[in-house]
Amino acid sequence: MRPESELAASSQQILASRPDLKTVVLPMLVQRFPQLTEEQIMVIAGIPREEIRHTRAVQDWLAEGRQEGEARGEARGEVREAAKMTLRLLTRRCGPLSEATTAQIQALPLEQLEALADALLDFQGPADLATWLAANG
């Protein structure tokens, strides 16, 4: 294995003689230097960013990132909808809620929102909500 100081020159030399190896060199650099940014790896390899975006490895990484982003977005949407429904039911059961209480409920994770939605069926008024939030919020 060559010293890190020679890495850029040797990577560029290899790619100059065998441009078809770009899809091999990039994953090797990423694996060897996980702490480096995409930009730093591109400089070491001497590969223009737009050129590398069309490789299979990068396309796979982008697709994986999109899927993770979509899953997070769906989860956030689920939490928002659960909070919205729970707040609407709480307002009917307990009367208008303060901004602080509303914010506290909106900050709850989905599991707690679902538990609150179940519990609110037994609430008699705002005191029951305050007690539940103190114990669970």
Tens digits of per-residue pLDDT, 18-68?
777 666 777 777 788 888 887 787 777 777 767 667 767 677 777 888 888
Number of domains into which the chain is organized = 2
What confidence score (pLDDT) does residue 92 get? 93
Q: Tell me the per-residue pLDDT of 77-96, one tens digit each, with 9 for 90 and over.
A: 888 898 999 999 999 999 99
38, exposed or middle or buried, with CB in 10 Å at 0-12, 13-18, 19+? middle
Asked whether the predicted pLDDT for residue 2 surpasses 60, the reply is no
136, exposed or middle or buried, with CB in 10 Å at 0-12, 13-18, 19+? exposed
What is the chain's length? Answer: 137
Q: What is the DSSP letter of 136?
A: H
User: Per the confidence metrics, is the pTM higher than 0.85?
Assistant: no
35 lies in the same domain as 68: no
50 lies in the same domain as 65: no
92 lies in the same domain as 106: yes
129 lies in the same domain as 65: yes
34 lies in the same domain as 80: no
64 lies in the same domain as 117: yes
67 lies in the same domain as 118: yes
Domain of residue 74, residue span:
60-136
Residues 6+ apart with CB under 8 A from 83: 105, 106, 108, 113
Report the C-alpha gap between 26 and 28 in whole angstroms: 5
93 lies in the same domain as 128: yes
Report the C-alpha gap between 87 and 114 in whole angstroms: 12
40 lies in the same domain as 84: no
